[in-house]
Structure 1
């Protein structure tokens, strides 16, 4: 009987000891299953003892806590990344109306480069509506705004399609440049192609104006090529990505000369040298430019010429060169 009693007591004590060891372990297993099933790292194991088994539960809780912290950081980073991606898409969508895709990509890839002033060789394009003051005086203000916005929309689309940057609007004038922040093989050619397409598109625009019994627009375009300073210029509160320099002023003067010479598009010699193989250009004068001691050669550009027109262009151009190179004895 004593042995039987001893055996029963031993079995009971062994069961209690096994339960003492396995109960916390079962808790750990159960919590692990809940974490996996519910994807919830906030769950913790109750620490019931202060021995090695309790230390195991405590260590498990520390591990879960660190995993939860890391998971939250990753989740927060992922959220910010998604928001940033959405913001970038939104910004791209807004700016792609005014800026070429490759220029937007340059901004997001190297934003610091956009803040620095750099010396670059660019093509500068100025366009202006002839007699716009008179036009606006004879139209209802709402019609003026509507027509002007449609005109700007048509012209800006062309500039951006040719990888140009619309720098600013100055009343009814547009200033744009080609070659920054992304340099292209022939930015002068892109600028001239843009100008010629603008003149062609203006014809369609004026047809729509006529259908609405509104006056037609006539424009002049001047293009120059040369070194300028390009970068973000302004105050800390408001900056503008723009270009400055003498080449910009000359481009503006060339646009003004289109009125004098009755030509819709005039380019400088630096542009002429880069596009003369692609488009017929006529050397017509050494024009006086404000701020220059000597006149500069100017060239109207045409999209194409007939055989007869080519012969006339060639003869006139050669005659002009001889005339302006003549030195009296």
Structure 2
């Protein structure tokens, strides 16, 4: 305005006025950009703050153009975790105790999931659904999911001891993990919407989780997840025909990082694989014999009694 007025009256403004105008315009532009950036960060925090770790939120804020809330197809890893026999646990607690137990459980498990950059999809009763690979893409999504599940298994054992000392039942968990192509994005209605994943790969992970009870193991993963984990030791569990799937699914249990193995574990896993090979070759008597030896070697391992029972029931 001052420049226009000065032009109209053919007056040259002093240098101080020119510098002041430039400074004011620069400040207004910086302030506008600040408000736009702050508003954008607030929207991102509102959308993802409760579902992803803070470091991921900060990464989204730095590169918002790389994140889409619209539906898209990605190769990702999805995770289901359930407290086993929770109905029996709930019956032994009053409402306040039940709330305290669940809140403590969810706090501890979510902290671990966030440590490995997982995205919380939802809490369903006593269950947790999470995924890796969105909203921020990552190369090691399968390994992060499996490492998180191993840490969660250790933590649930610690929590179980704490709860038992309080006179509460000690919870046990089952985890199912699968890696594959799935759809991810905002899905729902105009009344309620959620950032979630859907697809056959998601359904398979849920079905795998339900099989942890059958094999009496805390964690089961698919072959596709196993193939993307290069720093973890696994044992093969079984090959099963999952409802709704044409191809049989090979199941594995993650045990530890490769750096944590020793000669005793190597020897055990060698014997385990020999038993699995006999089982896969339909050598029933030989498989039972080998599983019985392994049961004696590892009396606290529920998998071997479970496999012996499966074989005996199939071949009475």
Shorter-chain TM-score range: 0.7 to 0.9
Cα 1:229/1:94, change in 2 over 3 Å: closer
For 1:4, the equivalent position in structure 2 comes to: none
For 1:280, the equivalent position in structure 2 comes to: 233
For 1:247, the equivalent position in structure 2 comes to: 201
Q: Is the 8 A contact 1:284 1:298 kept in 2?
A: yes
Instruction: Trace 1:11-30 onto structure 2 (pairs within 5 A).
Output: none
For 2:176, the equivalent position in structure 1 comes to: 222
Q: Is the 8 A contact 2:67 2:136 kept in 1?
A: no
Query: What is the CA–CA distance in structure 1 between the aligned matches of 2:196 and 2:48, rounded to whole Å?
Result: 15
Question: Offset of 1:145 from its aligned partner?
Answer: 0.8
Cα 1:217/1:94, change in 2 over 3 Å: farther
Cα 1:119/1:87, change in 2 over 3 Å: closer
Greater Cα shift, 304-313 or 292-301: 304-313
Question: Offset of 1:204 from its aligned partner?
Answer: 2.3
Could you say which structure has the larger radius of gyration? 1
For 2:301, the equivalent position in structure 1 comes to: none
Q: Is the 8 A contact 2:79 2:176 kept in 1?
A: yes
What 5-or-longer segments of structure 2 have no aligned partner?
284-316
For 1:311, the equivalent position in structure 2 comes to: 267
Q: Is the 8 A contact 2:178 2:224 kept in 1?
A: yes
Of 242, 246, 254, 1:301 maps to 254
For 2:53, the equivalent position in structure 1 comes to: 100
Cα 1:114/1:86, change in 2 over 3 Å: closer
Cα 1:177/1:290, change in 2 over 3 Å: same
**Could you state the TM-score of these two structures normalised by the residue count of structure 2?**
0.73
Cα 1:273/1:56, change in 2 over 3 Å: closer
For 2:158, the equivalent position in structure 1 comes to: 204
Cα 1:111/1:209, change in 2 over 3 Å: farther
**Could you state the TM-score of these two structures normalised by the residue count of structure 1?**
0.71
Cα 1:55/1:87, change in 2 over 3 Å: closer
Instruction: Trace 1:122-133 onto structure 2 (pairs within 5 A).
Output: 122-133=76-87
Question: What's the C-alpha RMSD, in Å, of the aligned pairs?
Answer: 3.6
For 2:245, the equivalent position in structure 1 comes to: 292
Task: Identify the structure with the greater strand proportion.
Answer: 2
Q: Is the 8 A contact 2:44 2:60 kept in 1?
A: no
Question: Offset of 1:89 from its aligned partner?
Answer: 6.1
Query: What is the CA–CA distance in structure 2 between the aligned matches of 1:112 and 1:305, rounded to whole Å?
Result: 39
Q: Give the count of matched residue pairs.
A: 275
Cα 1:95/1:116, change in 2 over 3 Å: closer
Instruction: Trace 1:129-144 onto structure 2 (pairs within 5 A).
Output: 129-144=83-98
Q: Is the 8 A contact 1:102 1:182 kept in 2?
A: no
Greater Cα shift, 153-162 or 277-286: 277-286
3-state SS of the aligned residue for 1:310? helix
For 2:138, the equivalent position in structure 1 comes to: 184
Cα 1:55/1:83, change in 2 over 3 Å: closer
Instruction: Trace 1:110-125 onto structure 2 (pairs within 5 A).
Output: 110=64, 113-125=67-79
For 1:32, the equivalent position in structure 2 comes to: none
3-state SS of the aligned residue for 2:143? helix
Query: What is the CA–CA distance in structure 1 between the aligned matches of 2:26 and 2:108, rounded to whole Å?
Result: 47
What 5-or-longer segments of structure 1 have no aligned partner?
1-40, 46-53
1:320 aligns with 2:276: yes
Q: Is the 8 A contact 1:97 1:160 kept in 2?
A: no
For 1:36, the equivalent position in structure 2 comes to: none
Deviations 1:207-237 (A, max 9, x none): 3313322211110111111111111112244
Query: What is the CA–CA distance in structure 2 between the aligned matches of 1:306 and 1:322, rounded to whole Å?
Result: 25
Cα 1:200/1:97, change in 2 over 3 Å: farther
Question: Offset of 1:80 from its aligned partner?
Answer: 7.8
